[in-house]
Structure 1
Amino acid sequence: MSVHPYEPETLPLDRIDWVSHIPSIGEANRKIARYDGILRSVVNPRVLLAPIMTQEAVVSSRIEGTQASLEDVLHYEADPKEEISQTKRDDIQEILNYRKAMMTAVGLMGERPLCINTIRELHRTLLFSVRGQDKEPGEIRRIQNYIAPYGRSIEEATFVPPAPPMVWDALTNWENYLHSKEKDALVQVAILKAQFELIHPFRDGNGRIGRMLVPLTLFSKGVISTPMFYISAYLERHREVYYARLRAVSEDGDWDGWIAFFLRAICEQADENGRRALDIISLYNEMKQVVPEITHSQYSIQAIDAIFSHTIFSTSLFIRDSGIQRESGAKILRELEENDVIQLLQRGKGSKPNIYAFSRLIAITEGNRL
């Protein structure tokens, strides 16, 4: 295989077969508009959909090799002092960094448009104190990198990104295209995601940043009203095709094949994300009826919001999130456990608090229907 570095095409592309994509473009736009309608109906999406954001961080990181599950992450947040292996702790920290980077992006985009400098800040957050921290977080690479099986040389690479002198020009062109108008925004997002990953501007973490860019660019283009559209589950299920479509762009210039794949991903994930959001809304509305009947407490809504924010939690985490005084909070937890709204995972001993789970919400987050 040739080790000649990839030379990115200049955007916008002038040879997309737009006519062939018209049916998929129409379907994808309809489905994502329906999904955004669901998002707009959520009173507090950052509370209700917080578990889905964590699941996206889990799945996107798993594509890169982490092994920690959603339950591992949630249990760690509830009890950070629990004894676990260093490998699992490192995996969990990568996932938490991913989620923090997404939240950082949302804050930054309230102050300025999405741009390369914002992405560099996300990259610093992503690699803080985890695997890759020695690979210049936030810095555009100045060395030649490549993708190959572990321990293999560049001569055995499956992909060699652009040479360092080309990277900044390619990124500038990418950013200019990001801020331009295209015939269809979803096709533009498809091109932006693939081009970013092919430029491979960082020494590590390019795939995860590329997947973060999907909801961020959809939001920046006004396609969705809040940057909560998660695509990693589809990409993980179709990992071989995902990488094959990217390789076909770099090796054969087959942008149409990539665009068709991406639009299908948008369609399927819009349906899946929408179903989960509706299930969460339905569960939340159910809890608004059930919890006050069980607890007869003026703090019922605060309690509900707390268990939706952290679906595995300690007594102290619940008290912190809800703002309820400890005695009242402990009474509410006792009543919710007795009525099987929440489940006791681990009884506290000494200074260690009880650990609870809101199992029905975890099931929805992982894709299991009620």
Structure 2
Amino acid sequence: MGRSGTMVTNLSGELAYNSFRPAPLPPNPPITLDDTSLKLLLQATRHIQELNAVAQYVPDAKLFASLYVRKEALISSQIEGTQCTLDDLLDPDVDRNTDLDVEEAVASVRALWHGLELLETMPLCNRFLRDVHEVLLSSTRGSERNPGEFRRSQNWIGAAGCTLKNARYVPPNLDDMNEALASLERYLNETPEIDALVSAALIHYQFETIHPFLDGNGRIGRMLIQFYLISQGVLASPMLSVSYFLKRNQVEYYDRMSDVRQKGTYEQWVRFFLEALDAAAVDGIATAEALSQVHEENRALLPPPRRAQDATHRVFDHLGAHPIISINRTAEELGLSYNTVANAVKKLMGLGILRETTNAARNRVFAYESYLAVLRPGSELVD
């Protein structure tokens, strides 16, 4: 067996095909990091620690985290071809949207939140992965592809219309898949002998290589990065959008993993992955600080509250997690009357904080544009 695994011949005659049997983690011989990778490791570690501090001390940290979860889930879905924007995902009527791409992005958000909640009571294990996968696919166009179950048939990756014979990559057959999943589960729960960031790189590669589901492997694999780093106590908050870097470097992302399978070049993959983590942490710090600054600058524009539960201040605070709102939905969520919210929105528009994005007399939508301008970069659709 090679360093990363070996090809296995399945069936015989005209039905014969080759699949990949991955070697268990950690690699043998062990990972060795050159000076460039060690520098990246130290840099990424420092920036993640800074991000943890920002997540702890920035005002309304939970609101920022909730927006980051949505942005990360969205960009991860875009990597798989989902045509949905951040504005689509933040639309107040998103739960009534019938667009399948938007529905798929919403399902990714639900799955990521579900996994973060599961971490409080369940270790990372195969059952954990199946539970998150079930939430990801149950209500979308992948619902017929065995949500919450590992595959029971051979899958493959390649251009549309390709077969097992000419696929770009054929993951492990069922026996090898089950053996690899059991080995990965053990590795997930061992105390890593190497730095947790390097382990995260190996785990993401290994999961994508095993490809245990009929659909959703890429999205689950990228969620696993945050789940693992949080479980190891390295990441304090889900404010790490690794998918932003991976989307911008998508060709290299796939090529680096393919090179590991073909050549055993774990070190080059780890270096690329550390670049992704470092870029994500730097972006997270800058975005959280910019969002906080924008929010506080706008808060300073508000007149002093007339009472403890001033409606204009309550609607403004609501914008931190809901930067696109409708009057009806906001009234429901805050337990206020329609007219009360309408008056608050009118005041916020007069202050230049909100801008109407529709011209309809009913179901009007209002955007917190200065806030969205900080959030949108990286989530735009690429032509």
Common fold, TM-score beyond 0.5?
yes
Q: Matched residues in 2 for 1:304 and 1:15: separation?
A: 56
% identity of equivalent residues: 29
The code of the aligned residue for 1:198 comes to T
Aligned 8 A contact 2:156 2:167 in 1: yes
Equivalent of 1:102, from 105, 109, 112? 112
CA distance in 2, matches of 1:188, 1:161: 21
**Match of 2:57?**
41
Q: Moved runs in structure 1, 4+ residues, more than 6 A? A: 294-297
Over the residues paired in the alignment, what is the CA RMSD in angstroms? 2.1
User: 1:197–1:210: 8 Å Cα contact kept in structure 2?
Assistant: yes
Aligned partner of 2:229 among 190, 199, 218: 218
Tell whether the 8 Å contact from 1:276 to 1:365 is kept in structure 2 after alignment.
yes
**Aligned with 1:360 (options 355, 361, 370):** 370
1:128-186 deviation line (CA, Å, top 9, x unaligned) = 23222111111011111000101111111111100011212211111111111222010
Paired residues for 1:130-149 under 5 Å: 130-149=140-159
* Alpha carbons 2:356, 2:367 under 8 Å: kept: yes
Q: For residue 78 of structure 1, what is the aligned residue in structure 2? A: 93
Distance in 1 (alpha carbons) for counterparts of 2:197 and 2:20: 25
Write the distance in 2 (CA, Å) between the matches of 1:109 and 1:261.
Answer: 27
Residue 299 of structure 1: how far off its partner (Å): 3.8
One-letter amino acid of the structure 2 residue matched with residue 176 of structure 1: R
What SS is found at the alignment partner of 2:356?
strand
Of the three residues 266, 285, 304, the one matched with 1:255 is 266
Name 2:66's counterpart in structure 1: 50
| 1:1-370 superposed matches below 5 A | 3-20=17-34, 21-75=37-91, 77-78=92-93, 89-182=99-192, 183-293=194-304, 298-349=310-361, 352-367=362-377
Could you say which structure has the higher helix fraction?
A: 1
Quickly say closer, same or farther: Cα 1:79–1:162, change in 2 above 3 A: closer
Using the TM superposition, name which of 226-235 and 188-197 deviates more: 226-235
Which whole-Å CA distance do the structure 2 matches of 1:150 and 1:44 have between them? 45
Structure 1 position 78, deviation (Å): 3.2
Residues matched between the structures, number: 360
User: Does the 8 Å contact 1:139/1:202 carry over to 2?
Assistant: yes
User: Aligned partners of 1:80 and 1:292: how far apart in 2?
Assistant: 34
Q: Is the 8 A contact 2:68 2:240 kept in 1?
A: no
Q: How many angstroms apart in 1 are the aligned matches of 2:303 and 2:130?
A: 46
Q: TM-score, normalised by structure 2?
A: 0.88
CA distance 1:19–1:293, shift in 2 (3 Å): same
Q: Which moved more, 1:308-317 or 1:232-241?
A: 308-317
Q: List runs of 5+ in structure 2 lacking aligned partners.
A: 1-6, 10-16, 379-383
SS at match of 1:290: coil
CA distance in 1, matches of 2:319, 2:113: 20
* Alpha-carbon shift at residue 81 of structure 1 (Å): 5.6
Distance 1:172 1:366 in 2: 39
Letter in 1 for 2:191: K
TM-score (norm 1): 0.91
In the TM superposition, what is the alpha-carbon distance from 1:277 to its structure 2 partner?
Answer: 0.9
| TM-superposed deviation, 1:295 | 8.1
Is this contact kept in 2: 1:294–1:336, CA < 8 A?
A: no
Deviations 1:28-74 (Å, cap 9, x if unpaired)?
11111111111111344332333332222221111111111112222
